[in-house]
Amino acid sequence: MQRTEIATLGEFGLIEHITRNFQLKNDSSIKGIGDDAAILSYNDKPVLVTSDLLLEGIHFDLMYVPLKHLGYKAAVVNFSDIYAMNGYPKQITVSLGVSRRFSVEDMEELYSGIKLACDKYGVDLVGGDTSASVTGLTIGITCIGEGEKGKIPGRNGAKNTDLICVSGDLGAAYMGLLLLEREKRIFSGNEGIQPDFSGKEYIIERQLKPEARKDIVESLERINVVPTAMIDISDGLSSELLHISKQSNVGCRIYEDRIPVDFQTAVMAEEFNMNVTTVALNGGEDYELLFTVPLEMNDVFQNLPGIKVIGHITDASLGSRLITRDGQEVELRAQGWNSLK
């Protein structure tokens, strides 16, 4: 495979080279890459902005994360934050810190993943920055989105008796991570061994190529429902529930037997001798949507595809608890991902 040193193109040559296939798709993108700043127009619409920083060795391991998958995931996790505000992502900027061990072709792979995500979700790449790095690869993405006035739920709007809903299933991404880490350790001592992921494709994909839940936001829009509070599950269900509880000044009750878990996740948890509920509560990186809606919406949400009602909001004095399958109450604790620990 051809290898072109990044230094041969320079900063601006590299930017032009790896972004040349990106075309603007949104009317709100007036001017993209090429000036000191992008120019956007929103016609008096609320603007949503989020940013995310991914560092090699902290957030990803290139021993088992392909650069194309990394680019896709880096973009999608930012889109997820915008969907968690009941909005739609429209533009991103991408900033990179790149060490000398990476080539132009490596950057092409990374950006091919970013482009795939942008094309799938209808998002424009409109700028960014690159710099030399002595600590490997760093990716910083800022995402800009559009919301509707009066339809942007925060984390502080949950009310007593509200239903607690979650999309998809939980814990799969964490099980995928543990599986990849296990195979990495085995491979490190036995280079001739190739990992066998047959029957485990779903949990691997959930870790390496997550999807943002645009479809859930579209479903809510179709039935004209605005959640009272909403957040995406990046650090674990327990952590995100406690964010909502704290900022809304409420308590909550969720039920163990209602937490959605995929079969492969359960099988992998058993293989690792882990409690599958603990995995679902604390795994993180699921990028599902956790939200609350008024109790009178119960009939609607009990039958809405892709969404599960897992509990309800209570008065703050009752605290935040998990009701186990045998009826015991267990206090919820924030034990999910924390990169600073």
pLDDT at 340: 44
Does pLDDT of 103 surpass 50?
Answer: yes
Q: Calculate mean pLDDT across residues 258-275.
A: 97
Identify the pLDDT of residue 339.
52
- Sequence-distant (6+) residues with CB within 8 A of 284 are 173, 174, 233, 234, 235, 236, 239, 336, 337
**Token pair 């609320």 in the structure block, residue:** 46
Task: Extract the tokens encoding 217.
Answer: 């936001």
- Residue 43 confidence (pLDDT) above 90: no
pLDDT, tens digit, for every residue of 177-189? 999 999 888 777 6
- Tokens representing 56 are 């090699």
Q: What are phi and psi of 143, to 5 degrees?
A: -120, 135
Residue-range domains of the chain with CATH: 6-146 (3.30.1330.10), 163-331 (3.90.650.10)
Residue bearing the bigger pLDDT, 192 or 81: 81
Q: Tell me what pLDDT residue 334 has.
A: 81
pLDDT tops 60 at residue 341: no
What's the chain's average pLDDT? Answer: 92
Rounded to an integer, what distance in angstroms lies between the CA atom of residue 203 and that of residue 209? 10
Is pLDDT at 192 greater than 70 in this prediction? no
On the question of pLDDT at 308 being above 90, the answer is yes
Amino acid at 308: K
Tens of pLDDT, residues 155-174: 999 999 999 999 999 999 99
pTM to 2 decimal places? 0.91
How high is the pLDDT of residue 99? 93
- Find the mean pLDDT for residues 10-35: 85
Is the pLDDT at 234 greater than 70, yes or no? yes
Q: Average of pLDDT values for 205-226? A: 97
pLDDT category at 191 given cuts 50, 70, 90 is low
Tokens (6 digits) for 138: 């760093």
